[in-house]
Chain A
Amino acid sequence: MEIVIENLAHAIGDLQIIDRLDITIGSGEIVALLGPSGCGKSTLLRLVAGLERPTSGSITMGRHIRAAIVFQDHTLLPWRTAAGNVELPLEHHPISVAERRERVAAVLEQVGIADFADYYPKALSGGMRQRVNLARALVLEPTLLLMDEPLSSLDEQLREILLDDLARLWSERGFTCLYVTHSPDEAVRLGHRVMILSRRPTKIVEVVPIETPIEERSHFHPAIAAARETVWNLVRESRAPCHGT
C-alpha cells in the first residue's frame, strides 16, 4: 500500500475540517475526490503533502515517494517566465543545466504551451497558467501526484485533451494520484475509485469503483457514462441538505 490515511482529524482554530477520515490508496492507483466546496479537499491534499501537520491521526507513505502538487490557486512565481517556473523543482536536483532545460522544454511541449515558454504569468491566460502549474508538477516525474482541480479553468476541448494526456501519462508512468475535482466527468475518466465526500467535517459518503481500464475510457464509453450518472446522483444527494447554510 502506498498511502494509508488513518483516523485523520484536522481543525483550523475552532473549525473542525476533517473528522476521522480513513483512506487507503494503492500504489499506482488514482483516487478521485469529489465534495462540496469548502469541505476540506485542499486541506487534505496539504496534509498528505506534509505541508501541514494534522491535529490527530496519521498519514503513512512508502519510503521512496516523490510527491508533487498541482495547486488550486495560482502559485506561479510572477517574476519567472513559464519555463522558469517549471524549472524551479529541478533546480535542487543533481542534474545538469542542459538536461534541466531539455526536460522543461519537453514537459512544456507535453502540456501544449511550448510557444509561451518565455512569457511571464501576467501575460498568460488562466488556462495557460494552469497548464504551467501542471507542467511544473510533472517535470519531476513524480510517483505521487496530488492534483487540486487542475483542469477547472480550462475550456471543454482542452480539458478533454489534457484528460487524455493524463490518462496516457498514467499508463506510461503509473504514478499514484489523489485527484480533487468538482467535475464528475473528470472523476470517472481518471479515477480507479471515486470518493464522494460530505460537507465539513469531511467524511466519505460513498466510494464508486470503476473497473474500465483508464486507457479505454472516453466521454462516450457506456460504462463511463453509467458511472458518471451514478456519481452525479450521489453528488446531488450529498449536497442536498447543505443548501441555505
Chain B
Amino acid sequence: MKIGSIAHEAAPDSEAGSSRRTDFAFAASAPLVRPSFEPRSYPLVGWATFAVVLAAWQLVAWRQADAILLPSPIDVASALYGMMGTGELQADLGASLGRLTVGWVIGAGLGALTGFAIGLYPLARSSVLPLVNALFAIPKIALLPVFIVWLGIGELSKVTTIAVGVFSPMAIAAYSGMDAVDRNLIRMAQSFSVPTLAILRKVILPGMLPMLLTGARISGAIAIVLLVGAEMIAAENGVGALALTSGGLMRTDRLFAAVAILGALGLTASWLVGLAERALLKWR
C-alpha cells in the first residue's frame, strides 16, 4: 500500500521533470510502477460511479418525459418513501429476508457438510459428488413446481427452492477448498502428533476458509435470484411479488423501487461476506 502511494506521488513529479528534459530522457521518465495484482480497490470510486449512473438516469428520465416507461430516480425514491409510510415495504422486505435467510442457512449448512464429507471420505466422493454436480446444472427454479406439488404453495416450497439452489455451490466450495489445503501442512501437523480432530480444526478448516467464503458469496447471489423467481411465480408478498404486481399495474416507479431493493440486498450480502473475509482472513 505504502509503496503504491509513494509511487503515485512521485509520478506527477517525474512528468513535470520530463517536460524540461530533452527528448532522449523521455523513456527514462516513464513511471516505474508495475501492476501489483494485489486485490486493492478505491471505495470512493465505487460511490462516485454510483452517483454518476444515478445522475445520468435522472437526466435521461427528464428529457424522455414518459414517467411510465422510465421513472426518474426521484420518482423511485418517493415511491420507496411512500411504501415505507404505509408499511408495505417493511412487510415485503421482511417476508423476503425471512425466506432468504432460512433457505440460505439450511442450504449452505447442508452443502458445506456434504462438501466436508466429500473431502474426507473417498466413498462419499464417489457416490455423492456426481449427484452434486448433476444438481448444480439443473436450473433450480424449474424445480419450484415440483416443490409446490410436494410441499404446498406456502413458505416451505420457496425456502426449499432456495436451499436446494445454495446447496451445490456450497458443497463444491467446501470440498474443493479441502482439496486445496496443502498436504505438506497436514503432514507437518501429523509429524508433531497433532490428533486428527485437531488437524481438522487447526489446519484443514482455516485452509479451506477462503474457498468457503467465496462459496458463501456466490451462493448468496444465487439465493437472491431464486428468491425473486419463486416470489414472482408463487407468492402474495415479498420483493419479487411486489415487482411483478407493480409491473402488471404499470406502476413502474414501484417496480424500479423493488429492483433497487434487490440490488441493495445483493450489495448487503456481499458486504457481509467481505466483512467476514476481513475478520477471518487477515493473514492473507
Task: Mark contacts of A79-122 with chain B using CB atoms, 8 A cut-off: 1 yes-contact digit, 0 otherwise.
Answer: 11000000011011000000000000000000000000000111
Selected contact of B184 from candidates A73, A88, A91, A120, CB within 8 Å: A73
Given A77-B206, A88-B202, A122 and B191 contact (CB-CB distance below 8 Å): no
Contacts of A122 in B (CB 8 A): 283-284
Chain B's nearest CB lies how many Å from the CB of A104? 14
B192 at the A interface (CB under 8 A) = yes
Contacts of B190 in A (CB 8 A): 51
Taking a contact as CB atoms under 8 Å apart, the answer to whether B202 and A78 are in contact is no
Q: In the bound complex, how far is the Cα of B23 from the Cα of A34, in angstroms? A: 58
Taking a contact as CB atoms under 8 Å apart, the answer to whether A51 and B189 are in contact is no
Task: Mark contacts of B142-186 with chain A using CB atoms, 8 A cut-off: 1 yes-contact digit, 0 otherwise.
Answer: 000000000000000000000000000000000000000010110
Query: Which chain B residues numbered 23 to 42 have a C-beta less than 8 Å away from chain A?
Result: none
Which residue of the partner chain B has the closest CB to A73?
B184
Contacts of B188 in A (CB 8 A): 69, 71, 75
Task: Mark contacts of B194-211 with chain A using CB atoms, 8 A cut-off: 1 yes-contact digit, 0 otherwise.
Answer: 110010001100110100
Contacts of B182 in A (CB 8 A): 75
Selected contact of B192 from candidates A78, A121, A140, CB within 8 Å: A140
Which residue of the partner chain B has the closest CB to A90?
B192
Taking a contact as CB atoms under 8 Å apart, the answer to whether A68 and B192 are in contact is yes
Taking a contact as CB atoms under 8 Å apart, the answer to whether A78 and B283 are in contact is yes
Chain B's nearest CB lies how many Å from the CB of A189? 25
Contacts of B203 in A (CB 8 A): 77
Given A71-B184, A75-B184, A77-B203, A88 and B189 contact (CB-CB distance below 8 Å): yes
Query: Which chain B residues numbered 231 to 273 have a C-beta less than 8 Å away from chain A?
Result: none
Q: Which of A68, A75, A79 has the most CB of B within 10 A?
A: A79
A225 at the B interface (CB under 8 A) = no
Main secondary structure, interface of B, reads helix
Q: How many A-B residue pairs have CB under 8 A?
A: 53
A169 at the B interface (CB under 8 A) = no
A39 at the B interface (CB under 8 A) = no
Selected contact of B283 from candidates A89, A91, A120, A140, CB within 8 Å: A120
Q: In the bound complex, how far is the Cα of B192 from the Cα of A67, in angstroms? A: 8
Taking a contact as CB atoms under 8 Å apart, the answer to whether B184 and A92 are in contact is no
Given A88-B202, A122-B284, A51 and B187 contact (CB-CB distance below 8 Å): yes
Chain B's nearest CB lies how many Å from the CB of A123? 9
Chain B's nearest CB lies how many Å from the CB of A175? 16
Taking a contact as CB atoms under 8 Å apart, the answer to whether A77 and B202 are in contact is yes
Which residue of the partner chain B has the closest CB to A146?
B191
B193 at the A interface (CB under 8 A) = yes
Contacts of A69 in B (CB 8 A): 188, 191
Chain A's nearest CB lies how many Å from the CB of B23? 42
Given A71-B184, A73-B184, A88-B202, A79 and B283 contact (CB-CB distance below 8 Å): yes
Selected contact of B185 from candidates A75, A92, A140, CB within 8 Å: A75
Q: In the bound complex, how far is the Cα of B190 from the Cα of A67, in angstroms? A: 11
Taking a contact as CB atoms under 8 Å apart, the answer to whether A77 and B185 are in contact is yes
17 sample A-B contacts, Cβ–Cβ < 8 Å, listed by A number: A51-B191, A68-B192, A69-B191, A71-B184, A71-B187, A74-B184, A75-B182, A75-B184, A75-B188, A77-B206, A78-B283, A79-B209, A80-B283, A89-B192, A91-B198, A92-B193, A136-B192
Beyond A49-B191, A71-B187, A89-B194, 5 additional pairs, beta carbon < 8 A: A51-B191, A77-B202, A79-B281, A89-B192, A140-B192
Interface on B for A, CB 8 Å cutoff? Answer: 182, 184-185, 187-195, 198, 202-203, 206-207, 209, 281-284
Interface on A for B, CB 8 Å cutoff? Answer: 46, 49, 51, 67-69, 71, 73-75, 77-80, 88-89, 91-92, 120-122, 136, 140
